[in-house]
A and B are shown apart, each in its own frame.
Chain A
Amino acid sequence: MRLTEEQQEIYDGKKGETYAKVMQTLVRYGELFGAEEMTEVTGEYGHLVTSFGLKVIHPVYKLMDELIDSGVASKQKFTMDPRPLDANVPSGPIKDLVFKKFMYSMQDEYEQQLKKLGLLSEDGFSCACYFDEQGNRPKKGDVLSWAESSAVVYANSVLGARCNRNSGIIELFGSILGYVPKFGLLTDEGRRATWKIELKTSKLPSAQVLGSAIGMKVMEDVPYVFGLSEYLGEELTPEVCAYLKNFGAATASNGAVGLYHIDKLTPEAKELGESLINDDAKTYVIDDAELKRVVDSYPVIWKNPDAKPKMCFIGCPHLSKAELTDWINKICDGLKASGRTKPVIPTVLTSAPGVIKSLKGSEELKAAEAAGLVISYICPLMYCDNPLVHSTPIITNSNKLRTYTSCRFYEDETVLAMITGGK
């Protein structure tokens, strides 16, 4: 890899051994993928995936200490994925004790380390850092050093920024140096579509299921989707962005998609159209039967598949403001229709701290409180992804949560009916 004089000096240790190791890690990382140079990180803020102070990842805290003690600081401030704990979320005394005293006992210390390295704010904890309320929204063409697969795919596809699917720690190193190796989704070539997706369904498909089908088919490749803008329109309205957020998270978790193009809708598809598609692109046709096949293929890993659900999580990735208010209204209307005052299944709606704050005092939050809904900034994945919760039958409308935990997936309408006791 060709390095600038400044980069070479860092590599050679002129800024100290720790900076040199950071640079050597990124150089070797880039060389594996054919990068010939480092490119400047032009996005204003970074975003880190490792937001949890899990006691057992002690080596991470050791590495953080090494960085801090060596005087290393991030060139840019950064936001984080959601916190793993929120006292509002029902758990019970045993889980509470285990979560706070054992599993996530390093949370406070870890957040102190993050502050020293460049944490943007106390409220900067959400997987949807790009929400206006969270303040980390890159511009088109910005080069980013982010991890968190759902945020990366959204930034690339909907915002037109440029970011590879980085691992935790690697993304922090990019923010520290202000450079990342130029390869993959940072290049024009790497952003070309290698799959044509032809949507031939009878109605707008569930974002979660469509994303899942495409993710499982194309894995880490770049799909170009025809037929979706006929349902969604050609403007990126808040509703369309929410759909694409959920769609992208499913492509990234059920597969490893880092970028998708939607014909006539997403920025690069609008600009460049079908010229983005490689000549040898493969084709995947999706109709109603194919989506049914995909849903039917999901394993149910509850010990008792007929168990009565004990909890419901809605909001992985975090709900936008419009989604959160819409879910509260739909649930309250559903409860009214079924003659109930509280949900049949304890339900947690998760959203970004900034979104929840912006709704403080609103009619929607008062209605949610009256109905016993829990509104939380927690990461549902962190809550569910541990042995204490594995045996609890939890339902969700998130395909990402289904993929990484024992939660059982249902589409929105079914989840709504289950929690409100409706038909």
Chain B
Amino acid sequence: MKEFRGRVIVKGTCTATALVSHEGFNTLASYQTSFLTGDKKATCSDQNNPDIYKKPMAGAALCLPQTIGSTTGGMILYTASDYGRQPACMLFSKPIDSIGAAGVLLSDIWTDAKMPTIDSLGDDFLSYVKTGMTITVKEDGTVLVG
């Protein structure tokens, strides 16, 4: 088991299975099909992201560098959270981007969803963590992997 430490964006604890995107997470592209089909597992529809394409995002510990893509991204993540289809937590290796920040804050303040969010976990975190590993997030921003 390895321990990483980052900045707490949204406080909380959780234990979930890692879903790792080494490329930027395109929020709109990832969620759009599951919204249209009503897929409660929120299966990722971003064909340009082979790491997570066709994998369920709801309830996963989503590990990513930053979010990318449309400025509707924050609204999309808020919508996913309101439907209860958000990741269990979001773990950013880099400092959070403005669109991702909007999404996690809108989720935290305007919905009942719980989605602890940590950023600045470092490149080592994203190199180490693999899809399927068990992740534990603590309130102080500590992330245990493996």
Do A and B assemble together? Answer: yes
- Closest chain-B Cβ to A287's Cβ sits at a distance in Å of 27
A273 within 8 A of B: no
A56 in contact with B102 (CB, 8 Å): no
Which of B28, B47, B75, B96 contacts A169, CB < 8 Å?
A: B75
* A21-B29 Cα distance, complex, nearest whole Å: 28
A168 within 8 A of B: yes
B33 in contact with A387 (CB, 8 Å): yes
B78 in contact with A166 (CB, 8 Å): no
B97 within 8 A of A: yes
A25 within 8 A of B: yes
* A387-B32 Cα distance, complex, nearest whole Å: 9
A170 in contact with B110 (CB, 8 Å): no
Interface string of A326-364 (1 = CB under 8 A from B): 000000000000000000000000000000000000000
B36 in contact with A103 (CB, 8 Å): yes
Tell me which residues across on chain A come within 8 A of B78, comparing CB atoms: 59-60, 63, 169
A57 within 8 A of B: yes
Tell me which residues across on chain A come within 8 A of B97, comparing CB atoms: 220, 256
- Closest chain-A Cβ to B50's Cβ sits at a distance in Å of 11
| With known contacts A21-B109, A25-B109, A168–B68 Cβ distance under 8 A | no
* A404-B98 Cα distance, complex, nearest whole Å: 19
Most chain B Cβ neighbours within 10 Å, of A165, A167, A299: A167
* A149-B71 Cα distance, complex, nearest whole Å: 6
Tell me which residues across on chain A come within 8 A of B71, comparing CB atoms: 49, 147-149, 152, 165-168
Could you tell me which residues of chain A, from 138 to 163, have a CB within 8 Å of some CB in chain B? 147-149, 152
* A256-B28 Cα distance, complex, nearest whole Å: 15
- Closest chain-A Cβ to B115's Cβ sits at a distance in Å of 14
Which of A26-34, A82-90, A370-378 is the contact stretch? A26-34
- Closest chain-B Cβ to A330's Cβ sits at a distance in Å of 30
B4 within 8 A of A: no
* A63-B78 Cα distance, complex, nearest whole Å: 10
A62 within 8 A of B: yes
Which of B36, B73, B101 contacts A387, CB < 8 Å?
A: B36
Could you tell me which residues of chain A, from 94 to 151, have a CB within 8 Å of some CB in chain B? 103, 147-149
- Closest chain-B Cβ to A108's Cβ sits at a distance in Å of 20
Tell me which residues across on chain A come within 8 A of B72, comparing CB atoms: 49-50, 147, 167-168
Tell me which residues across on chain B come within 8 A of A299, comparing CB atoms: 48
| With known contacts A59-B82, A404-B29, A21–B110 Cβ distance under 8 A | yes
Tell me which residues across on chain B come within 8 A of A28, comparing CB atoms: 105, 109
A170 in contact with B102 (CB, 8 Å): yes
Which of B74, B82, B102 contacts A62, CB < 8 Å?
A: B82
- Closest chain-B Cβ to A391's Cβ sits at a distance in Å of 13
* A103-B35 Cα distance, complex, nearest whole Å: 10
A398 within 8 A of B: no
Interface string of B86-105 (1 = CB under 8 A from A): 00000000001111011101
Interface residues of A (CB under 8 A from B): 21, 24-25, 28-29, 32-33, 49-50, 54, 56-60, 62-63, 103, 147-149, 152, 164-170, 184, 220, 256, 299, 301, 385-387, 404
Interface residues of B (CB under 8 A from A): 9, 28-29, 32-33, 35-36, 38, 47-48, 68-76, 78-79, 82-83, 96-99, 101-103, 105-106, 109-111
Can you spell out 9 A-B residue pairs with CB atoms less than 8 angstroms apart?
Answer: A25-B106, A25-B110, A28-B109, A164-B98, A167-B102, A169-B102, A170-B106, A256-B97, A404-B29
Having A25-B109, A62-B82, A166-B71, one finds 5 other A-B pairs with CB under 8 Å, namely A29-B101, A49-B71, A167-B75, A256-B68, A301-B47
